[in-house]
Amino acid sequence: MGLKIKKGERGTGRRYLSRTQALRKLQVTLNDFRRLCILKGIYPRVPEVAKSLKSNAHRSTFYYLKDIQFLSHDPLLRKFREHKIFVRKLTKLIAKREQAAKEALEENRPVYTLDHLVKERYPTFVDALRDLDDALSLLTLFSRLPKSRGIPQSRIHNCRTLMAEFQHYVMHASALRKVFFSVKGIYYQAEIKGTPITWLVPYEFNMPVPRDVDVRVMLTFLEFYETLLGFVNFQLYTELNLAYPPRIDEEAAEAGEAIDGCRVEPQSVLGDIAADADSMDTDMAKPAKTTVSARQMASLQKKVKEISARTAMDQEDNNTAAESADETTDIGADLAEFVTAAQTTRTAQSAAAGEEEEEEQDDSLLKVEELQRLVDSAGSDDRGTLFAGKVFFISREVPRTTLLFLVRSFGGQVGWDATVAGGSPFGVDDPRITYQISDRPNLAHTVLGRKYVQPQWVADSINFGKLMEPNLYAPGRALPAHLSPFVEYRAGDYVPEEAKTLAQGGVTGASLDDDEEEEVTDSDEDNEEEDQLEAELKAERAGVSSAEFAAKNKAKQSKKGANKSSTKATETPKAAVSKKRNTKAAETEAKAAELQDLTKALLPNRKRRIVERLERQTKADQTEKLKLQQRKDNIKRQAKKQRS
């Protein structure tokens, strides 16, 4: 007889460790263990079979044994232990009042980085983009929090800087797709490399830190997300050939916000070309090759100088959309010529040098593939030109940062009141202004030729991909329904009338008097359909098949027809024809229901249950749709009574 197997040594119990066992194995405190799990992305698990566990499954928290072994090899564990020793030494020096030794010890404080965790958790760049939603939402939240004892000012400033850098990339790449003003805040969605990224931005109010929130746990998440967003921003800026980190204008940042202080600039390629030319000249052995390379490099440097000059002029000059479009076309043509010249140079050099120096030339002269991407992207994407050529002025009562981000993401120019923030490119009296965004019920004075809209007009125009009718969003007027762009309507779903009219470019909020008769008729028909659907649901709960219900319904309809035989003589021929059609349609539906019941009866039990579940879901959706339609009809009737 073999030995009795002890509990927890085989099967499910062998794969799990309780939190107490994990702390004993790693030799760390509970706070350090929580930080380590958050940074490494380790989560508690629920065992499949609780009987084989040593600990009480209802009271303990369990982790995979492999996850704990994975944590035991991380460099952060050693850094946490070094910090524990550092705190112990610092406490002793403070107690002994040795100031010099204390300062020397603080200079050698152990420091750790989380770079290896980002590379470990996100093997590819697309993986990092898919997990960016929570990072952006948390960084935006901390960027709006005030300075407090538990949240240092440096962390808040870093969050603002990182978010400003990301917003500038979205504006520069025209990556914004959706925006929605909700009760919780403002939802944004950008599309980067085909990956939708959605984040939530709170409104610009003073937000005190709640006492019932554990800020330490959130700061641990924030610590990792700061590193992640720094990696992502660097990669995004590098792919667009932009200098990272962007230059910070301290005066503009102090006058406004962090988004005003960032200056996005292209990377300088002149220095790289000159350095590559020098390194190539030192390695060249053939005179003919040196002559060709020097001549080609001189022409390339001249062309790059012209492109850089025109790019600088484009950044300083933002007068009209036509001018910017022409300049973009010219730059794209020059870049195309530049790439062609670079390719010609590389071909000539490879022919002169032979196959031995081909690898060095591919790495040295120019990154032609990157320049080709710039040529392809120059003017190819017109998604960000919705507000191109439009000049907006933001009034004082409107959230400036939000509207600034929205308008600039789609090619518009923005100015604001000098009392809100400094650095506005133009004032309220500028004749170029085409739209003024205001949120006041009444305006003191208006300018002829200028359109006045409320902030919702910008969001609805972005969501529908076209400029909405400004008269619907005039200051002081009741706004149309602000529909969420994140809702996807399926076949059979209830679609609000506002969504249909706004999508078609129609005028919402039109008078109800035009279609009063049709609305009453439609509501009566909807009520009849609702009654019939409720009766069908009750019959199904009672165990009556759909074929039997259709037969009974047909008998009821025929009985009603017999009771109304006296009125048939006075009916018109059209009414008689329509009733015959309805009768034929009812017979066809009854036959289809009977055939469906027979087909369902022949199915296996598993598939039949699936079909029945789908039928119940379809009927529930139809019932909900009818309820919404009935509620809408009641609201319209009440509005009509109030007007009368």
Q: Please write the tens of the pLDDT for every residue from 395-412.
A: 999 999 999 999 999 999
DSSP H or E segment with residue 201? strand 195-201
Question: Burial, 465: exposed, middle or buried (Cβ in 10 Å; 0-12, 13-18, 19+)?
Answer: exposed
Q: What percent of the chain has pLDDT over 70?
A: 64
Q: Is 234 helix (H, G, I), strand (E, B) or coil?
A: helix
Task: Give me the pLDDT at residue 125, please.
Answer: 94
Q: Which of 342, 358, 381 is the last residue of a domain?
A: 381
Q: Is 413 helix (H, G, I), strand (E, B) or coil?
A: strand
Section 237-250 average pLDDT? 84
The verdict on 278 and 341 lying in the same domain is yes
Q: Which of 346, 381, 416 is the last residue of a domain?
A: 381
The verdict on 147 and 59 lying in the same domain is no
Give me the residue label for tokens 């035991």: 72
| Residues paired with 176 in a beta bridge | 190
The verdict on 539 and 434 lying in the same domain is no
Task: Give me the pLDDT at residue 559, please.
Answer: 61
Look at residues 46, 45, 22 and name the one whose alpha carbon lies nearest to residue 34.
22
Whether the per-residue pLDDT at 246 is higher than 50: the answer is yes
**How many angstroms separate the CA atoms of 564 and 561, rounded?**
5
Q: Does residue 64 lie in a domain region? A: yes
For residue 534, how far is the Cα from the chain centroid? 41
Look at residues 299, 279, 281 and name the one whose alpha carbon lies nearest to residue 290.
281
Q: Does residue 304 lie in a domain region? A: yes
3-state secondary structure 321-354: HHHHHHHHHHHHHHHHHHHHHHHHHHHHHHHHHC
Q: What is the mean pLDDT of the chain?
A: 76
The verdict on 284 and 365 lying in the same domain is yes
Give me the residue label for tokens 């590379």: 119
Q: Does residue 439 lie in a domain region? A: yes
Task: Give me the pLDDT at residue 224, please.
Answer: 95
Give me the residue label for tokens 């139809």: 622
Look at residues 72, 48, 45 and name the one whose alpha carbon lies nearest to residue 60.
45
Task: Give me the pLDDT at residue 358, please.
Answer: 42
Whether the per-residue pLDDT at 561 is higher than 90: the answer is no
Counting Cα atoms < 13 Å in the Cβ hemisphere of 563 gives: 6
122 CB-near residues (< 8 Å, 6+ apart): 128, 131, 228
**Better pLDDT: 203 or 491:** 203
Whether the per-residue pLDDT at 190 is higher than 90: the answer is yes
Section 598-605 average pLDDT? 82
The verdict on 483 and 595 lying in the same domain is no
Task: Give me the pLDDT at residue 498, please.
Answer: 72
**How many angstroms separate the CA atoms of 570 and 575, rounded?**
10
**How many angstroms separate the CA atoms of 603 and 188, rounded?**
47
**Better pLDDT: 39 or 504:** 39
Section 54-60 average pLDDT? 67
496 CB-near residues (< 8 Å, 6+ apart): 481, 483
Q: Does residue 562 lie in a domain region? A: no
Section 193-199 average pLDDT? 94
How confident is the model over 286-306, as pLDDT tens digits? 433 333 444 455 555 555 556
Section 609-614 average pLDDT? 86
**How many angstroms separate the CA atoms of 393 and 416, rounded?**
5
Look at residues 251, 380, 292 and name the one whose alpha carbon lies nearest to residue 328.
380
Q: Angle formed by the axes of helices 65-72 and 30-40, to 10°?
A: 100
Helix runs in 205-249, H state only: 215-239
Between 145-159, 432-446, 593-607, the lowest mean confidence (pLDDT) is in 593-607
One-letter amino acid of 555: A
> Please, are residues 270 and 178 in contact by the beta-carbon 8 Å criterion?
no
- The pair of three-digit structure tokens given for residue 450, joined into one six-digit string: 């200028």
Indicate the pLDDT class of residue 351, thresholds 50, 70 and 90: very low
Give me the residue label for tokens 């240092």: 152
**How many angstroms separate the CA atoms of 251 and 218, rounded?**
31
**How many angstroms separate the CA atoms of 551 and 555, rounded?**
6
How confident is the model over 198-241, as pLDDT tens digits? 999 999 888 788 888 888 899 999 999 999 999 999 999 999 98
Task: Give me the pLDDT at residue 250, please.
Answer: 66
Strands (E), 123-181: 176-181
The verdict on 371 and 390 lying in the same domain is no
- The pair of three-digit structure tokens given for residue 146, joined into one six-digit string: 């005030």
Q: Is 575 helix (H, G, I), strand (E, B) or coil?
A: helix
Section 572-593 average pLDDT? 73
The verdict on 25 and 102 lying in the same domain is no
Whether the per-residue pLDDT at 257 is higher than 90: the answer is no
> Please, are residues 271 and 359 in contact by the beta-carbon 8 Å criterion?
no
Count of domains in the chain? Answer: 6
**How many angstroms separate the CA atoms of 593 and 615, rounded?**
12
The CATH number that applies at residue 456 is 3.40.50.10190
How many CB atoms are closer than 10 A to CB 176?
21
Counting Cα atoms < 13 Å in the Cβ hemisphere of 299 gives: 15
**How many angstroms separate the CA atoms of 458 and 406, rounded?**
8
Task: Give me the pLDDT at residue 199, please.
Answer: 96
pTM over cut 0.85: no
Whether the per-residue pLDDT at 454 is higher than 90: the answer is yes
Q: Does residue 572 lie in a domain region? A: no
How confident is the model over 438-453, as pLDDT tens digits? 998 888 888 888 999 9
- The pair of three-digit structure tokens given for residue 386, joined into one six-digit string: 């919705």
**How many angstroms separate the CA atoms of 560 and 566, rounded?**
11
The verdict on 185 and 291 lying in the same domain is no
Q: What percent of the chain has pLDDT over 90?
A: 32
Look at residues 164, 199, 206, 168 and name the one whose alpha carbon lies nearest to residue 185.
199
**How many angstroms separate the CA atoms of 582 and 293, rounded?**
86
Whether the per-residue pLDDT at 88 is higher than 70: the answer is yes
Task: Give me the pLDDT at residue 206, please.
Answer: 81
What is the 8-class DSSP label of residue 468? Answer: P
Q: Give me the domain span that covers residue 470.
A: 384-503
Give me the residue label for tokens 């087909």: 599
Task: Give me the pLDDT at residue 560, please.
Answer: 60
The verdict on 439 and 487 lying in the same domain is yes
The verdict on 499 and 530 lying in the same domain is no
**Better pLDDT: 641 or 256:** 641
- The pair of three-digit structure tokens given for residue 5, joined into one six-digit string: 């197997």
The verdict on 44 and 163 lying in the same domain is no
Q: Does residue 114 lie in a domain region? A: no
Indicate the pLDDT class of residue 460, thresholds 50, 70 and 90: very high
Q: Of the spans 53-67, 242-256, 288-302, 512-526, which averages the highest pLDDT?
A: 53-67
Question: Burial, 268: exposed, middle or buried (Cβ in 10 Å; 0-12, 13-18, 19+)?
Answer: exposed
Task: Give me the pLDDT at residue 283, please.
Answer: 47
Cα-based distances in Å from 391 to 23, 70, 319, 321: 61, 56, 9, 10
Strands (E), 30-71: 62-64
Task: Give me the pLDDT at residue 274, please.
Answer: 44
Between 153-167, 280-294, 412-426, 442-456, the lowest mean confidence (pLDDT) is in 280-294
What is the 8-class DSSP label of residue 244? Answer: S
Q: Is 313 helix (H, G, I), strand (E, B) or coil?
A: helix
How confident is the model over 369-398, as pLDDT tens digits? 443 444 344 334 466 788 998 999 999 999
Angle at 486 between CA 480 and CA 492, to 5 degrees: 85
Burial 37-61 (b: 16+ CB within 10 A, else e): bbbbebeeeebeebebbebebeebe
Q: Does residue 560 lie in a domain region? A: no
Q: Is 451 helix (H, G, I), strand (E, B) or coil?
A: strand
The verdict on 639 and 527 lying in the same domain is yes
- The pair of three-digit structure tokens given for residue 320, joined into one six-digit string: 């009209």
Task: Give me the pLDDT at residue 137, please.
Answer: 96
Between 14-18, 132-136, 217-221, 395-399, the lowest mean confidence (pLDDT) is in 14-18
> Please, are residues 465 and 423 in contact by the beta-carbon 8 Å criterion?
no
Q: Which of 325, 358, 381 is the last residue of a domain?
A: 381
Whether the per-residue pLDDT at 428 is higher than 70: the answer is yes
